[in-house]
Amino acid sequence: MKAKKIVSFTLAGIFMLSCAMGCSGKPSDSPSSAEPAAKEDSAEKSNAAQETKDTTADTVNLTFWHTYSEGEEAVFLDQVVKGFEEENPGIKIEAVRMPVDGLQQQVIAGASGDAAPDVMRMDLTWAAEFAKLGALQDVSAFDGFSDLKENSLEGPMNTNYYNNGYYGLPLNSTTTVSIWNMDLLNEFGITTPPDTIDGLVDLAKKYNDPANEKWLFTVAGTYTWAMLPWFWTLGGELTDENFSVASGYLNSDQSVAALDTMREWYSDGIISHAIIGEQPDAWGGMTGGKYGMISEGPWFFSSNDSSFKTETTLMPEGEGGSISIVGGENIVMFQNSDKKDAAWKFMQYMLSDESQLAMSEAGVIPTTKTATDKMDTSAAPYLDTYLTQLKTAKVRTPSANWGEIDTILGKAFEQVIRGEAEAKPALDDAAAQIDGLLK
């Protein structure tokens, strides 16, 4: 910043000096009658140069790290940044597109070395970890936070929660819903997808054709992103509502029953071997006409090139309701920023309808109630299902130790599904380990 100011002052000085030497454009030996006009012109330009210098000196330059795709970045720069800077002429956004690979370590290095940005678009599972490290600013006491919290979808908002504070705001979100291969359902004689777990399983028992590797639905794997929507929908829980303890929740009767049900789906042939990593996997089986339904995110529609007819619905309802999982990114402010007032203005603007709806044009799903209500989905009607599912979607436990918790859960899920452990002792052990990580 200092270097930029010095350059600005130097250029202004040179400009003023050149004006004094004849910037009126007239020869130096012009008649004396022209001198007042030349002096007046010189004074005006000198004042303009001084105003430019003062404006530059007063400008706050905010550094913002992000991982938007090329298309998303274009909308962000052309609409969001431009709109913010027009509303806040004293603040300039220095947007830096960061590489995804190795980004977490780069952020750790930046925060520890006082080289972090002012604001960042951060993976939602990182917020608690960086809050614990003391790298992020708790924004829950800032002016306007309560209104932003009230207008944000509950699941995405909770991803910023840590130790009784909120260390960011939900910037954009995503989830998974039921995607149906209607060609296969019609082949089975099914015209309308079932809307309950019981109905889904009854139809699977009736129409599954393992000899030809055709199943009504499957689960993509034993990792948490794939398992949790089903586990929660069947009535399972991870922790209490304050994310402070797992014992009594992860190993409750309801959670044990939920995991046992999924184990039975696999052992009884209700679902395919994709859940333990065998082929065809969820996407391959879906596009290859082997699976009638998988739970997946909206990227399925932009990434697959199949020609089969699809339909999206909410997760079939079970004991726990119709529940899916929250994904996406948060916007956070770093503790070492000396521009917190400007950073907070930018964060607030990023959750405005203007910004949220602009980014939705690039395919980014909003996190606020008002923006989701106003979002135009006419070009991609399937997004309506995702917007509705987000209202009940749950978050992965917001903990600085989520990486370890994720590993523990994945191991317990896999052991039970494979029949290598019983659900109750596996979840008892996992709950005990996770309790220690939540303290």
- Alpha-carbon distance of 302 to 16, in angstroms, equals 56
Q: Is the pLDDT of residue 145 over 60?
A: yes
| CB-CB neighbours of 278 under 10 Å | 9
**Is 48 strand, coil or helix?**
helix
Distances (CA, A) of 77 to 49, 67, 95, 195, 362: 28, 13, 8, 41, 12
Q: What is the pTM of this model?
A: 0.84
Give me the mean pLDDT over the 171-182 stretch.
Answer: 98
Q: Residue 207: is its pLDDT beyond 80?
A: yes
- What's residue 302's pLDDT? 81
Q: Mutual orientation of helices 224-233 and 402-417 as an angle, nearest 10°?
A: 70
Distance, CA of 197 to CA of 64 (rounded, Å): 44
Dmax (CA) for the chain in angstroms is 104
Tokens of 392: 């009940």
Is the predicted pLDDT of residue 158 greater than 60, yes or no?
A: yes
User: How does pLDDT run across 292-332, given as a tens digit for each residue?
Assistant: 999 999 999 987 666 899 999 999 999 999 999 999 999 99
Distance (Å, whole) CA 49 – CA 10: 11
Give per-residue pLDDT as tens, 395-439.
Answer: 999 999 999 999 999 999 999 999 999 999 999 999 999 999 998
Helix%, strand%, coil% for the chain, nearest 5: 50, 15, 35
Contact between 174 and 386 under an 8 Å Cβ cutoff? The reply is yes
